[in-house]
A and B are shown apart, each in its own frame.
Chain A
Amino acid sequence: MSGGCAERNVLAGPEPDRRTDDAAVSAPAPSAAPMVLTCRVRSGNTNQTIGAAGRSRREVVQAVALAALVGATGSLSGCGLFGGEPDPPPPDPLAPLITGALDLAARHEAAIAAFPDLADRLRPVAEAHRAHAAELSRVTGTALPSPTATVPGTDPGAGSSTALLGQLREAERQGREAAAQACAGAPADRAALVGSIAAARATHLEVLR
Protein backbone atom coordinates (compact mmCIF):
# COMPACT_ATOMS: atom_id res chain seq x y z
CA MET A 1 0.00 0.00 0.00
CA SER A 2 1.04 3.54 -0.48
CA GLY A 3 1.99 5.70 2.40
CA GLY A 4 4.32 3.14 3.86
CA CYS A 5 2.06 1.96 6.60
CA ALA A 6 0.58 -1.24 5.37
CA GLU A 7 -0.13 -2.38 8.87
CA ARG A 8 -2.62 0.39 9.08
CA ASN A 9 -4.57 -0.64 6.07
CA VAL A 10 -8.21 -0.70 6.82
CA LEU A 11 -8.97 -4.00 5.36
CA ALA A 12 -5.57 -5.60 5.53
CA GLY A 13 -3.57 -7.64 7.91
CA PRO A 14 -3.26 -11.35 8.46
CA GLU A 15 -4.45 -10.94 12.01
CA PRO A 16 -6.07 -7.55 11.93
CA ASP A 17 -5.89 -5.57 15.08
CA ARG A 18 -9.57 -5.04 15.12
CA ARG A 19 -10.10 -5.28 18.82
CA THR A 20 -8.28 -2.22 19.83
CA ASP A 21 -8.85 -1.09 23.34
CA ASP A 22 -10.55 2.21 24.00
CA ALA A 23 -7.34 3.44 25.48
CA ALA A 24 -5.90 3.35 22.00
CA VAL A 25 -8.00 6.36 21.16
CA SER A 26 -5.28 8.43 22.70
CA ALA A 27 -2.49 6.68 20.85
CA PRO A 28 -0.36 8.72 18.48
CA ALA A 29 -2.03 9.76 15.29
CA PRO A 30 -0.97 8.09 12.09
CA SER A 31 -0.13 10.10 9.07
CA ALA A 32 -2.31 8.31 6.56
CA ALA A 33 -5.96 8.79 7.20
CA PRO A 34 -7.56 6.61 4.53
CA MET A 35 -6.29 3.34 5.91
CA VAL A 36 -8.74 3.15 8.62
CA LEU A 37 -10.18 -0.15 9.32
CA THR A 38 -7.29 -2.01 10.86
CA CYS A 39 -6.24 1.02 12.82
CA ARG A 40 -9.47 2.78 12.98
CA VAL A 41 -9.37 3.68 16.60
CA ARG A 42 -5.87 4.97 16.25
CA SER A 43 -6.44 6.93 13.15
CA GLY A 44 -6.14 10.53 13.50
CA ASN A 45 -8.67 11.48 16.05
CA THR A 46 -6.32 11.61 18.96
CA ASN A 47 -5.80 15.28 19.40
CA GLN A 48 -9.42 15.93 18.93
CA THR A 49 -10.31 13.28 21.39
CA ILE A 50 -8.01 14.65 23.98
CA GLY A 51 -9.17 18.15 23.25
CA ALA A 52 -12.81 17.22 23.60
CA ALA A 53 -12.15 15.23 26.71
CA GLY A 54 -10.22 18.16 28.12
CA ARG A 55 -13.07 20.51 27.60
CA SER A 56 -15.38 18.01 29.08
CA ARG A 57 -13.22 17.60 32.14
CA ARG A 58 -13.22 21.32 32.62
CA GLU A 59 -16.96 21.33 32.39
CA VAL A 60 -17.11 18.55 34.90
CA VAL A 61 -14.82 20.41 37.25
CA GLN A 62 -16.99 23.46 36.94
CA ALA A 63 -20.08 21.44 37.56
CA VAL A 64 -18.57 19.79 40.58
CA ALA A 65 -17.46 23.14 41.96
CA LEU A 66 -20.95 24.48 41.45
CA ALA A 67 -22.45 21.44 43.10
CA ALA A 68 -20.09 21.88 46.02
CA LEU A 69 -21.23 25.46 46.45
CA VAL A 70 -24.86 24.50 46.28
CA GLY A 71 -24.25 21.61 48.59
CA ALA A 72 -22.47 23.80 51.08
CA THR A 73 -25.31 26.27 51.06
CA GLY A 74 -27.79 23.48 51.46
CA SER A 75 -25.98 22.02 54.41
CA LEU A 76 -25.78 25.40 56.09
CA SER A 77 -29.45 26.05 55.81
CA GLY A 78 -30.77 22.54 56.14
CA CYS A 79 -28.67 20.66 58.61
CA GLY A 80 -25.27 20.60 60.23
CA LEU A 81 -25.99 22.87 63.15
CA PHE A 82 -29.24 21.16 64.01
CA GLY A 83 -28.30 17.59 63.30
CA GLY A 84 -30.38 17.09 60.15
CA GLU A 85 -29.43 14.48 57.59
CA PRO A 86 -27.41 15.73 54.63
CA ASP A 87 -29.21 15.64 51.34
CA PRO A 88 -28.64 12.42 49.42
CA PRO A 89 -26.55 12.82 46.28
CA PRO A 90 -28.60 13.36 43.14
CA PRO A 91 -29.19 10.24 41.07
CA ASP A 92 -26.75 9.61 38.26
CA PRO A 93 -28.05 10.80 34.88
CA LEU A 94 -27.61 7.26 33.59
CA ALA A 95 -29.71 5.72 36.37
CA PRO A 96 -32.85 5.56 34.16
CA LEU A 97 -30.83 3.69 31.56
CA ILE A 98 -29.91 1.05 34.14
CA THR A 99 -33.53 0.65 35.14
CA GLY A 100 -34.50 0.44 31.51
CA ALA A 101 -31.88 -2.22 30.75
CA LEU A 102 -33.07 -4.38 33.64
CA ASP A 103 -36.66 -3.95 32.55
CA LEU A 104 -35.82 -4.97 28.99
CA ALA A 105 -33.88 -7.99 30.24
CA ALA A 106 -36.81 -9.05 32.39
CA ARG A 107 -39.24 -8.67 29.49
CA HIS A 108 -37.16 -10.92 27.28
CA GLU A 109 -36.69 -13.46 30.04
CA ALA A 110 -40.43 -13.56 30.67
CA ALA A 111 -41.02 -14.02 26.95
CA ILE A 112 -38.59 -16.94 26.89
CA ALA A 113 -40.38 -18.48 29.86
CA ALA A 114 -43.71 -18.18 28.07
CA PHE A 115 -42.45 -19.27 24.64
CA PRO A 116 -39.36 -21.46 24.96
CA ASP A 117 -39.17 -21.66 21.19
CA LEU A 118 -38.06 -18.05 21.20
CA ALA A 119 -35.10 -18.76 23.46
CA ASP A 120 -32.54 -18.98 20.64
CA ARG A 121 -33.44 -15.53 19.43
CA LEU A 122 -34.17 -13.80 22.71
CA ARG A 123 -31.57 -15.23 25.06
CA PRO A 124 -28.64 -13.26 23.57
CA VAL A 125 -30.77 -10.12 23.68
CA ALA A 126 -31.68 -10.64 27.33
CA GLU A 127 -28.03 -11.26 28.13
CA ALA A 128 -27.02 -8.09 26.30
CA HIS A 129 -29.40 -6.05 28.44
CA ARG A 130 -27.97 -7.63 31.59
CA ALA A 131 -24.47 -6.82 30.35
CA HIS A 132 -25.54 -3.22 29.68
CA ALA A 133 -26.93 -2.88 33.19
CA ALA A 134 -23.75 -4.32 34.69
CA GLU A 135 -21.51 -1.99 32.70
CA LEU A 136 -23.65 1.06 33.48
CA SER A 137 -23.61 0.05 37.12
CA ARG A 138 -19.83 -0.12 37.01
CA VAL A 139 -19.27 3.28 35.41
CA THR A 140 -21.82 5.04 37.57
CA GLY A 141 -20.84 3.31 40.80
CA THR A 142 -24.46 2.31 41.29
CA ALA A 143 -25.41 -0.99 42.88
CA LEU A 144 -27.82 -3.04 40.83
CA PRO A 145 -31.07 -3.96 42.53
CA SER A 146 -31.66 -7.56 43.49
CA PRO A 147 -32.62 -9.64 40.46
CA THR A 148 -36.30 -9.94 41.35
CA ALA A 149 -37.29 -7.51 38.68
CA THR A 150 -40.90 -7.02 37.87
CA VAL A 151 -42.03 -7.17 34.30
CA PRO A 152 -44.38 -4.27 33.80
CA GLY A 153 -46.66 -4.24 30.83
CA THR A 154 -45.98 -7.80 29.80
CA ASP A 155 -48.59 -10.48 29.98
CA PRO A 156 -47.04 -13.48 28.33
CA GLY A 157 -49.86 -15.75 29.38
CA ALA A 158 -52.38 -14.02 27.21
CA GLY A 159 -51.65 -13.69 23.54
CA SER A 160 -49.51 -15.10 20.82
CA SER A 161 -45.79 -15.03 20.48
CA THR A 162 -46.33 -12.65 17.57
CA ALA A 163 -48.08 -10.18 19.82
CA LEU A 164 -45.37 -10.59 22.41
CA LEU A 165 -42.64 -9.91 19.86
CA GLY A 166 -44.52 -6.77 18.92
CA GLN A 167 -44.45 -5.64 22.54
CA LEU A 168 -40.75 -6.37 22.76
CA ARG A 169 -40.08 -4.40 19.58
CA GLU A 170 -41.89 -1.41 20.98
CA ALA A 171 -39.96 -1.66 24.25
CA GLU A 172 -36.67 -1.89 22.36
CA ARG A 173 -37.61 1.07 20.18
CA GLN A 174 -38.32 3.20 23.23
CA GLY A 175 -35.15 1.95 24.86
CA ARG A 176 -33.11 2.88 21.81
CA GLU A 177 -34.57 6.39 21.86
CA ALA A 178 -33.79 6.78 25.55
CA ALA A 179 -30.22 5.61 25.06
CA ALA A 180 -29.73 7.85 22.02
CA GLN A 181 -30.87 10.85 24.05
CA ALA A 182 -28.59 9.88 26.91
CA CYS A 183 -25.70 9.54 24.46
CA ALA A 184 -26.32 13.02 23.07
CA GLY A 185 -25.93 14.53 26.51
CA ALA A 186 -23.29 12.22 27.92
CA PRO A 187 -19.82 13.41 28.88
CA ALA A 188 -17.00 12.20 26.64
CA ASP A 189 -15.96 9.35 28.91
CA ARG A 190 -19.44 7.83 28.78
CA ALA A 191 -20.46 8.61 25.23
CA ALA A 192 -19.05 5.47 23.63
CA LEU A 193 -20.63 3.09 26.13
CA VAL A 194 -24.03 4.72 25.93
CA GLY A 195 -23.75 4.91 22.15
CA SER A 196 -23.04 1.19 21.96
CA ILE A 197 -26.09 0.51 24.10
CA ALA A 198 -28.27 2.61 21.79
CA ALA A 199 -26.86 0.78 18.77
CA ALA A 200 -27.36 -2.61 20.43
CA ARG A 201 -31.01 -1.87 21.04
CA ALA A 202 -31.39 -0.94 17.39
CA THR A 203 -29.90 -4.30 16.41
CA HIS A 204 -32.34 -6.07 18.73
CA LEU A 205 -35.15 -4.75 16.58
CA GLU A 206 -33.64 -6.73 13.72
CA VAL A 207 -33.81 -10.08 15.49
CA LEU A 208 -37.33 -9.37 16.79
CA ARG A 209 -38.78 -9.09 13.29
Chain B
Amino acid sequence: MSEALAAALAAEHAAIYAYGLIGVRLSDGAAEQARSAEAAHRSRRDGLVLLLTERGGPVPVAEPAYELPFAVTDEASALRLAVEVEERTAAVWRAALPATEGADRTRALNGLTDAAVRATRWRRTAGVNPATVPFPGRPT
Protein backbone atom coordinates (compact mmCIF):
# COMPACT_ATOMS: atom_id res chain seq x y z
CA MET B 1 0.00 0.00 0.00
CA SER B 2 2.71 2.46 0.98
CA GLU B 3 4.78 1.44 -2.04
CA ALA B 4 1.94 2.43 -4.35
CA LEU B 5 1.75 5.77 -2.59
CA ALA B 6 5.53 6.13 -2.80
CA ALA B 7 5.23 5.67 -6.56
CA ALA B 8 2.58 8.38 -6.58
CA LEU B 9 4.89 10.68 -4.63
CA ALA B 10 7.67 10.07 -7.15
CA ALA B 11 5.25 10.96 -9.94
CA GLU B 12 4.23 14.15 -8.17
CA HIS B 13 7.89 15.15 -7.84
CA ALA B 14 8.33 14.69 -11.58
CA ALA B 15 5.14 16.59 -12.38
CA ILE B 16 6.27 19.55 -10.28
CA TYR B 17 9.59 19.59 -12.12
CA ALA B 18 7.84 19.47 -15.48
CA TYR B 19 5.53 22.36 -14.64
CA GLY B 20 8.56 24.51 -13.93
CA LEU B 21 9.49 24.12 -17.59
CA ILE B 22 5.93 24.31 -18.86
CA GLY B 23 5.01 27.48 -17.05
CA VAL B 24 7.74 29.65 -18.55
CA ARG B 25 6.47 28.86 -22.09
CA LEU B 26 2.92 29.95 -21.34
CA SER B 27 1.28 33.30 -20.80
CA ASP B 28 -1.93 34.78 -19.47
CA GLY B 29 -4.64 32.26 -18.76
CA ALA B 30 -2.54 29.24 -19.66
CA ALA B 31 0.25 30.41 -17.37
CA GLU B 32 -2.25 30.78 -14.56
CA GLN B 33 -3.57 27.33 -15.34
CA ALA B 34 -0.03 25.97 -15.04
CA ARG B 35 0.54 27.74 -11.73
CA SER B 36 -2.69 26.32 -10.38
CA ALA B 37 -1.83 22.82 -11.58
CA GLU B 38 1.65 23.00 -10.11
CA ALA B 39 0.21 24.13 -6.79
CA ALA B 40 -2.14 21.15 -6.83
CA HIS B 41 0.76 18.79 -7.43
CA ARG B 42 2.74 20.40 -4.62
CA SER B 43 -0.20 19.96 -2.32
CA ARG B 44 -0.47 16.27 -3.21
CA ARG B 45 3.28 15.90 -2.77
CA ASP B 46 3.21 17.51 0.68
CA GLY B 47 0.35 15.31 1.80
CA LEU B 48 2.16 12.19 0.65
CA VAL B 49 5.46 13.19 2.26
CA LEU B 50 3.65 13.69 5.55
CA LEU B 51 1.76 10.43 5.27
CA LEU B 52 4.70 8.29 4.23
CA THR B 53 6.95 9.86 6.85
CA GLU B 54 4.41 9.08 9.55
CA ARG B 55 4.32 5.50 8.42
CA GLY B 56 8.05 5.19 8.51
CA GLY B 57 8.38 3.73 5.04
CA PRO B 58 10.47 4.97 2.14
CA VAL B 59 9.79 8.58 1.20
CA PRO B 60 11.07 9.19 -2.33
CA VAL B 61 12.82 12.50 -2.80
CA ALA B 62 12.81 14.60 -5.92
CA GLU B 63 15.49 14.07 -8.53
CA PRO B 64 17.55 17.14 -9.41
CA ALA B 65 16.24 16.88 -12.95
CA TYR B 66 14.10 14.68 -15.15
CA GLU B 67 14.59 13.89 -18.78
CA LEU B 68 11.63 15.06 -20.81
CA PRO B 69 9.88 12.89 -23.39
CA PHE B 70 10.32 15.74 -25.87
CA ALA B 71 11.80 19.19 -25.84
CA VAL B 72 9.67 22.05 -24.59
CA THR B 73 10.50 24.91 -26.91
CA ASP B 74 7.27 26.82 -27.32
CA GLU B 75 3.67 27.13 -26.21
CA ALA B 76 2.47 24.16 -28.24
CA SER B 77 5.06 21.76 -26.86
CA ALA B 78 4.46 23.11 -23.36
CA LEU B 79 0.76 22.35 -23.65
CA ARG B 80 1.53 18.92 -25.04
CA LEU B 81 3.80 18.16 -22.11
CA ALA B 82 1.18 19.38 -19.66
CA VAL B 83 -1.32 16.90 -21.09
CA GLU B 84 1.33 14.19 -21.00
CA VAL B 85 2.32 14.87 -17.39
CA GLU B 86 -1.28 14.74 -16.22
CA GLU B 87 -2.01 11.56 -18.13
CA ARG B 88 1.03 9.86 -16.65
CA THR B 89 0.27 11.10 -13.16
CA ALA B 90 -3.29 9.85 -13.53
CA ALA B 91 -1.94 6.43 -14.50
CA VAL B 92 0.25 6.22 -11.40
CA TRP B 93 -2.62 7.12 -9.11
CA ARG B 94 -4.86 4.66 -10.91
CA ALA B 95 -2.29 1.92 -10.38
CA ALA B 96 -2.48 2.66 -6.66
CA LEU B 97 -6.21 1.89 -6.50
CA PRO B 98 -5.98 -1.93 -6.41
CA ALA B 99 -3.16 -1.72 -3.85
CA THR B 100 -5.07 0.47 -1.42
CA GLU B 101 -8.25 0.50 0.57
CA GLY B 102 -10.10 2.86 2.86
CA ALA B 103 -8.66 6.36 3.15
CA ASP B 104 -5.68 5.47 0.96
CA ARG B 105 -8.00 4.31 -1.81
CA THR B 106 -9.88 7.59 -1.55
CA ARG B 107 -6.61 9.50 -1.74
CA ALA B 108 -5.65 7.55 -4.85
CA LEU B 109 -9.01 8.14 -6.49
CA ASN B 110 -8.78 11.86 -5.77
CA GLY B 111 -5.30 11.92 -7.28
CA LEU B 112 -6.52 10.10 -10.38
CA THR B 113 -9.61 12.27 -10.74
CA ASP B 114 -7.78 15.56 -10.33
CA ALA B 115 -5.09 14.60 -12.81
CA ALA B 116 -7.71 13.43 -15.31
CA VAL B 117 -9.61 16.69 -14.98
CA ARG B 118 -6.42 18.71 -15.49
CA ALA B 119 -5.54 16.61 -18.53
CA THR B 120 -8.95 17.44 -19.97
CA ARG B 121 -8.48 21.16 -19.26
CA TRP B 122 -5.09 21.12 -20.95
CA ARG B 123 -6.49 19.32 -23.98
CA ARG B 124 -9.15 22.00 -24.26
CA THR B 125 -6.55 24.73 -23.88
CA ALA B 126 -4.47 23.06 -26.59
CA GLY B 127 -7.51 22.62 -28.82
CA VAL B 128 -7.31 18.83 -28.68
CA ASN B 129 -10.62 17.19 -29.53
CA PRO B 130 -12.05 15.15 -27.91
CA ALA B 131 -10.85 16.62 -24.66
CA THR B 132 -11.78 13.52 -22.72
CA VAL B 133 -10.74 9.89 -22.76
CA PRO B 134 -13.11 7.05 -21.82
CA PHE B 135 -10.89 5.49 -19.14
CA PRO B 136 -8.54 8.06 -17.59
CA GLY B 137 -5.26 6.58 -16.44
CA ARG B 138 -5.82 3.27 -18.15
CA PRO B 139 -3.17 1.97 -20.51
CA THR B 140 -4.60 1.80 -24.01
Contact = CB atoms under 8 A, between A and B. Distances in A.
B1 A48 contact: yes
A7 to B, nearest CB: 10
B2 interface: yes
Nearest to B137: A196
Given A34-B63, A124-B130, A206-B124, A41 B91 contact: yes
A173 to B, nearest CB: 12
Contact of B67 (A11, A41, A52): A11
B78 interface: no
A169 to B, nearest CB: 14
B131 A40 contact: no
A19 B10 CA distance: 18
A189 B90 CA distance: 18
B11 A40 contact: yes
A10 B10 contact: yes
A37 B120 contact: no
A171 interface: no
A17 to B, nearest CB: 9
Nearest to A49: B99
Interface string A1-24: 110001001111100101111101
A49 to B, nearest CB: 4
Interface residue tally of chain A, by bracket? Answer: 35 or more
Contact of B11 (A12, A25, A37): A37
Contact of B10 (A36, A51, A191): A36
B79 interface: no
A45 B112 contact: no
A77 B95 CA distance: 45
Interface string B83-124: 011011111101111111100011011001100110111001
B11 A10 contact: yes
B100 to A, nearest CB: 7
A90 B92 CA distance: 34
B97 A183 contact: yes
B131 A207 contact: yes
Contact of B132 (A29, A40, A49, A124): A124
Contacts of B130: 124, 207
A1 B67 contact: yes
A44 B3 contact: yes
Interface string B61-92: 11100111100000000000000110111111
Nearest to A179: B109
B32 to A, nearest CB: 16
Contacts of A63: none
B115 to A, nearest CB: 8
A128 interface: yes
Given A124-B132, A196-B112, 4 more contacts: A1-B63, A18-B84, A52-B101, A128-B134
Top 4 closest pairs, chain A to chain B, by CB: A12-B67, A124-B130, A45-B4, A10-B14
5 contacts: A18-B84, A18-B91, A36-B7, A47-B3, A127-B134
